[in-house]
Amino acid sequence: MRKPVKKASESKVILITGASSGLGKACAEALVERGHTVYGTSRRAKFLDNSSDPNALKMIPMDVNDDISVNRAIAHVIDAAGVIDVIVNNAGYGIAGAIENTTIDEAKALFDTNFFGVHRVCRAALPYLREQGFGHIINIGSLGGVVSIPFQAFYSASKSALASLSNGLSMELKPFGISVTRIEPGDYHTGFTANRIFVAAIDPAGVYGERCSRAIAVMEQDEQNGADPEGLANILVKIIESKHPALNYRVGIFMQRLLISLVPFLPDRILEKLLMSLYKI
């Protein structure tokens, strides 16, 4: 394994999970335009020869829920490029429904992707990053991990857990020249709305039905009126090309960032009432 010391402005080898659509795709395409070598992952991708267009986005298969798939994808990038400069853990999804109506299996499946999927990728990549003596891990969290969203609480819980994991990982990796950054986006106009999964036991006529429907309607409206994914892609480019990236970036439309900035100063019950009012429950 070669051990070059790279400058922040140099072209980098970047791996982005969940790059077939939405924020991941926008970020991957922006980084390719900047001249970086980008490997995007998708469960449906195939290992193909991209040598005919070395500047193209290279899509490779990876299922973040499967150890063998993750290890194979990481090894493929190392074999092809000799190094991984940056890993962007972006793969994830949301589920909607009342906590009482969410089965353990549904909650576990969400965490397996949003939280343990990040852990799998890190475990597979870190031996290579430590050996090469540098690297940057960027985990895509959510402003929904800072405050819990009603009827999407398991998604919030997974992103809150990811925040804690990222902070701990940053401290553990300091001696090895590996930095960790967490990006916490608000709502962006992507396919997240269409890809949201509803718990099997959701019941519009049940005890949670009316309030759950109103909350989900607010979420969908916020997402459809969210920021342009290209904005986040440009932020990611700046972070990757920065000499001294911060530990955490909270990004998105102004009103959402403003609310989050007020969280430390609001009494818990006041914040709760505010959120209940926002989601019309």
- Residues annotated as catalytic are 155
Crossing angle of helices 116-132 and 67-81, in 10° steps, is 30
Rounded Cα gap, residues 153 and 160, in angstroms: 10
Sequential DSSP letters for 32-79: HHTT-EEEEEETT------TTSTTS-EEEE--TT-HHHHHHHHHHHHH
- H helix intervals, the chain: 22-33, 67-81, 104-114, 116-132, 153-173, 192-195, 209-224, 229-241, 254-262, 268-278
- Secondary structure (3-state) at 256: helix
- Secondary structure (3-state) at 123: helix
Residue 187 CA from chain centroid, whole number = 13
C-alpha closest to that of 56 among 28, 84, 83: 28
Rounded Cα gap, residues 64 and 114, in angstroms: 9
DSSP at 279? T
Element (H, E) at 248: strand 248-251
